[in-house]
Structure 1
Amino acid sequence: MSTMIRSLQTIAFITILSTMSPSLAMAEISPKEKLNSSIRSNSIAQNPNTQAGDTLINQQAYILGPGDEIQLTMFGQPNLFTTNYRVLVDGTVSLPLIGRVLVKGRSIGIAEREIAKRYIRFYRRPFITIVLVDARVVTLAISGEVRHPGTYPVESPTQIPTVTQLIQLAGGASQSADISQIKVRRPQENGKEQFISVNLLQLLQEGDLSQNLQLRDKDTVIIPTTTTVDFSNALLIRNASFSSDRSEPINIAIIGEVYRPGPHTIRPGSADVQEAGTLGNAKAASTELPTVTQAIQTAGGIKPEADIRQVKVIRRPHNGNPQEIIVNLWELLKAGDLSQDIALQAGDTIVVPKAVGLSAAELTELSTISFAPATIDVNVVGEVKRPGIIKIQPNTPLNTAMLAAGGFDDRRANKSKVKLIRLNPDGTVTQREIKIDLEQPLNEENNPALRNNDVVVVGRSGLTKVGDNLRNILAPITSSFGIFRILF
């Protein structure tokens, strides 16, 4: 009984003291209440001074700094903090009873504990809660292999960007980026700098979200240039959400064994080459980055003797050191290796060399690939049934072209040989006689593959020449007899 009376007296005594002086008031809660209070919602709707539906910055990641506006509450003392507080230029906030407290460079959780320590002089077991009401302008920087390097101020962010979000903000990582060796440079309070390694390739391959680092104010993201192209991960990197912006056209150059060499503007989507010597037409829109084969299609397609095993892409990264990437498009055709059809970036130059010693089978196969023109123009003149320009598939044999022109004129044609006239890339003209054998397979001597703008001349037979010459000689005489008949 006496124990119960002493307990009641103690409670009454504390109650009286708490009403007399705030310095002896208790700001204590039960362990269960502490646990529930410490699990803060990420919804800013809990704060009556902010817009409902906005989301708070991650309380653990956000570092306070000058310009931040915060709201403080102490459990059991609703009237202690009557307004929001702005972090001053010197990194402090001025609070009731305890004056200025340094919060710059500290997370919200650490700032809560530091302020609570200051209030121990006035309250027993004070429990402080800080909510970020209005974040300051956060400045981030990014350099290296991105589309638009530079500084990016983020005004009143509801969430400070992660590494991948900043890369997206900067237009995406270029195709020269080494995303496995990214560095984040972070300034420290002591004036030194901390360097944090980030491997976004590990994020793509294994889904390791820890690599997508939450950034802080004044962080700088540095994306280095890759020294070699990783063909095994090329498709994975190309399709990453933080790769280069795919909606904009890019300017590239293409030279060598294509029908329309020179500078070209490549737009997202595929191209279709109908006729040799004409530019490829847009065939279908796409969200994919332009590739080597699309550039070749846009440039009119490959010529018959293109060496697609040694296509070279010359790339000029941001560090100024040109890179040479060898692309084997034959592997794309034979093994379906899509990684060989690498994505392009602005400023790339594609070199398509001339092949040596292609077999007849290879020539035939090259004529059917998607980045070759659908048709070439060959002019068959002379003693055929349908002389004129015919449209045939690239690398079509001479015999097939003759049949496309209706075949020999049986009464007049010299069926033993034809003349092939070819305009060379250097502007010279070559002319050769070819012995015709319609039974011959594709070969350079008797049944060569034709090229765009070749001219095939089918001459007259000896008997036809004699008959035509006699006709020309006798023409004036027959004309005179005709006039004589009219007059007499």
Structure 2
Amino acid sequence: MFMSLIWKIRGYRALCAASLQVVVYAATIANDAAFAQNNPQTAPAPIQLPTTGESPLQPAPPPSSVEFTPLDINDGNSPQFSRYYLGSGDVISIAVQRPPGPYVLGPGDAVSVSVLRFPDLSFSAQINPEGNIVVPLLGTVRLQNLSLSQAQEKIRVGYNRFVVNPEVVLALAGQRPEQAFQVQVNTEGNIAVPQLGTISVQGLTLEEAQEKIRVGLSKILVQPVVTVSLSAPRPVQITVSGEVFRPGIYPVGSSVPRITDAVLIAGGSTMMADLRQVQVRRRLVDGTVISQNINLYASIQNGGSVPNLRLQDGDSIVIPRREVGTEDGYDRNLVARSSLAVPQIRIRILNYAGGGLVTQALPNGSSFVDAISGINPDNANLSDIALVRFDSERGKAVTQRLDAKKALSGDVTQNVPLQDNDVIVVGRNLLGKITNVLSTITRPFFDIQSFIRFFETFGGGRF
């Protein structure tokens, strides 16, 4: 009996504790709900479950100050890259028109008022910038935003206090002019708008600038219809880096600059470029850096057009280097014959028996066999030829021994693709002398020009 009573007491305590937890939890939910209703800004947004079967647990977006690279997009551009952002040097056209529908009075309109039987009260006036006119006997009367009939009735009611049943006729004597002008964005990112003054449009899209001007003019004019368009874009400078022949910052003179324009100005892509992962970066006015990966190789391979992405001043293009083991299905010769590469490359052949250093122009995409086809086999040892290439990353010359006889016989391992400014050295003695000099050079080449001058010295017979 005593043990049974103890078990009942323990059960009662457990039941009370559970009930207390439920009450506290329900009270917490009720308080949170009441707080959310009274504070809508802090209320949590409802969870929207996707309809495509995707998990609702998505990673949080990166902070605005962190560079973010979206997924590879080749069929279309991300929204940020589809917008034109205004900046210093842009010339825009602004048209300010009256709203459609019944005519509404506003500053600049001229009206004539006739008062029958009381000609001394008749007058003409122009609505001032505040939207008012001065009426005999009545003083200042506001007509802005009124139709002609509304303005006529307003003046009639005013005169009715001084004369009995006045007959008032109001007519529009002159319409306010519509505005159309061009303005250039100054170095501070501002423009001057008549009646509105100086406003900033730096980093705004055309649509955003149009709305900003419309809202400002709405405080002065009657429901203005504002249209903003780009008359002349600002000069564009693009940074091109990575696997191009002349990395740097270049002005792009095209009216609508594209990726192909910038790549060609930088000398075209190198043979080691990976056009499947070209990255375009853009810094927004708030400091955010957005980027987009574009697969230019797919466009070349399929014979389609390059993605329609308009470059803007300050954009940068990064063409990465192909990594080892990623060349399956990548046709370098196809790229070399495309519009993203220079049409010709220059190959230098150093052969004393053939006249010293000779520069030969070949179509881009040419191979070792194309360059040695003009070498006289009677005056050269075709089994011992070297291809010397400038490695821009290390600033050094890289030498590769090749067997021309095997290459001419169809050995693809010996028939290597050529690059611009490659040097082919023919002759065992000459090759040994150059190799010996190269091995004693401790300072890397400063640039491609110093590399070429080194071989011009040999071509002159000074060593």
**What interval of TM-score do these two structures reach, taking the shorter chain for normalisation?**
0.5 to 0.7
Counterpart mapping for 1:112-151 below 5 A: 112-119=152-159, 122-123=164-165, 126-132=168-174, 149-151=189-191
The counterpart of 2:399, out of the listed 407, 411, 431, is: 431
2:331 partner SS: helix
Please, which of 425, 442, 448 is the counterpart of residue 457 of structure 1? 425
CA contact (8 A) 2:98 2:223 kept: no
The one-letter code matched in structure 2 to 1:446 is: Q
Report the alpha carbon displacement of residue 244 of structure 1 after superposing the two structures with TM: 6.5
For the Cα contact (< 8 Å) 1:331–1:340, is it kept in 2? Answer: no
Tell me which of 235, 243, 247 is aligned to 1:249.
235
Conserved in 1, the CA contact under 8 Å of 2:386 and 2:399?
Answer: yes
Shift of 1:73: 3.5
TM-score, scaled to structure 1: 0.54
Separation in 1, partners of 2:180, 2:104: 11
Matching of residues 197-276 of structure 1 within 5 Å: 217=220, 242-243=229-230, 245-246=232-233, 248-268=234-254
Q: Which amino acid aligns with 1:111?
A: A
How much does 1:382 deviate? Answer: 2.6
- Give the corresponding residue for 2:288: 321
Residue deviations 1:354-378 (CA, integer Å, cap 9, x gap): 1234468721111111231121111
Checking the alignment, whether the CA contact within 8 Å between 2:104 and 2:144 is kept in structure 1 is no
Task: Rate the CA distance shift 1:245–1:389 in 2: closer, same or farther, 3 A.
Answer: same
Counterpart-to-counterpart distance in 2, 1:322 and 1:61: 47
Which residue pairs with 1:486 in the alignment? Answer: none
1:394 aligns with 2:364: yes
Determine if the alignment matches structure 1 residue 347 to structure 2 residue 389: no
CA displacement at 1:458 relative to structure 2:
2.3
Instruction: Give the 3 Å change call, closer, same or farther, for CA 250–447 of structure 1 in structure 2.
Output: same
Residue number in structure 1 paired with 2:272: 305
2:142 corresponds in structure 1 to 102
Number of the residue aligned with 2:258: 291
- Equivalent residues of 1:384, 1:413 under 8 A apart: yes
Shift of 1:148: 8.0
Q: Distance in 2 between matches of 1:259 and 1:382?
A: 26
Q: Does 1:70 align with 2:100?
A: no
Match of 1:230 in 2: none
Contact 2:242–2:318 (CA under 8 A) maintained in structure 1: yes
- Equivalent AA in structure 1 for residue 110 of structure 2: I
Give, in whole Å, the separation in 1 of the partners of 2:206 and 2:177. Answer: 33
Structure 2 counterpart of 1:153: 193
AA of the residue aligned to 2:248: G
For the 8 Å contact 1:250–1:267, the answer to whether it is kept is yes
After TM superposition, give the deviation of residue 390 of structure 1 in Å. Answer: 0.7
Instruction: Name the amino acid aligned to 1:410.
Output: P
Partner of 2:414: 446
Name which of 370, 381, 388 aligns with 1:414.
Answer: 381
- Contact 2:189–2:201 (CA under 8 A) maintained in structure 1: no
Go from structure 1 to structure 2 and tell me whether the alpha carbon gap of 1:338 and 1:433 turns closer, same or farther (over 3 Å shift): closer
Quote how far apart the aligned CAs of 1:92 are.
3.1
Matching residue of 1:472: none
- Give the whole-Å Cα distance in 2 for the aligned partners of 1:402 and 1:124: 106
CA distance in 1, matches of 2:271, 2:201: 37
Displacement, 1:87? Answer: 3.9
Q: 1:56 to 1:423 in 2, by over 3 A?
A: closer
SS for the counterpart of 1:376 is: strand
Tell me if the contact between 2:113 and 2:124 (Cα under 8 Å) persists in the aligned partners: no
Q: Deviations over 1:15-58 (max 9, x none)?
A: xxxxxxxxxxxxxxxxxxxxxxxxxxxxxxxxxxxxxxxx9955
In the aligned structure 1, how far is the partner of 2:149 from the partner of 2:284? 42
Question: Using the alignment, how far apart are the partners of 2:211 and 2:184 within structure 1?
Answer: 10
Q: 1:172 to 1:366 in 2, by over 3 A?
A: farther
Distance 1:96 1:138 in 2: 35
AA aligned to 1:429 is A
CA–CA distance in structure 2, aligned partners of residues 244 and 326 of structure 1: 30
SS in 2 for 1:365: helix
8 Å CA contact 1:72, 1:81 repeated in 2: no
Q: Distance in 1 between matches of 2:306 and 2:199?
A: 26
Identity of aligned residues (%): 20
Taking only aligned residues, the RMSD between alpha carbons, in angstroms, comes to 4.8
**How far apart are residue 102 of structure 1 and its match?**
2.0
| Structure 1 contact 142–149 (Cα < 8 Å) conserved | no
1:52-85 per-residue CA deviation (whole Å, 9 max, x = no partner) reads: xxx99558576624xx352223486895676542
Q: CA deviation at 1:424?
A: 0.4
Looking at structure 1, the residues matched to 228 and 193 of structure 2 have their Cα atoms a distance apart, in angstroms, of 22
Answer 1 or 2: higher relative contact order, Cα 8 Å, separation at least 6. Answer: 2
Residues 94, 179 of structure 1: alpha-carbon distance in 2 compared, 3 angstrom cutoff: closer
- Alignment match of 1:367 (pick from 336, 352, 358): 336
Between the aligned partners of 1:292 and 1:170, the Cα distance in structure 2 is: 32
Whole-angstrom distance in 2 between the partners of 1:324 and 1:93: 56
Q: How far apart, in 2, do the equivalents of 1:150 and 1:101 lie?
A: 36
Distance verdict in 2 for CA 1:128–1:71, change over 3 Å: closer
Q: Which is further off, 424-433 or 100-109?
A: 100-109
Q: Deviations over 1:214-241 (max 9, x none)?
A: 96637999xxxxxxxxxxxxxxxxxx99
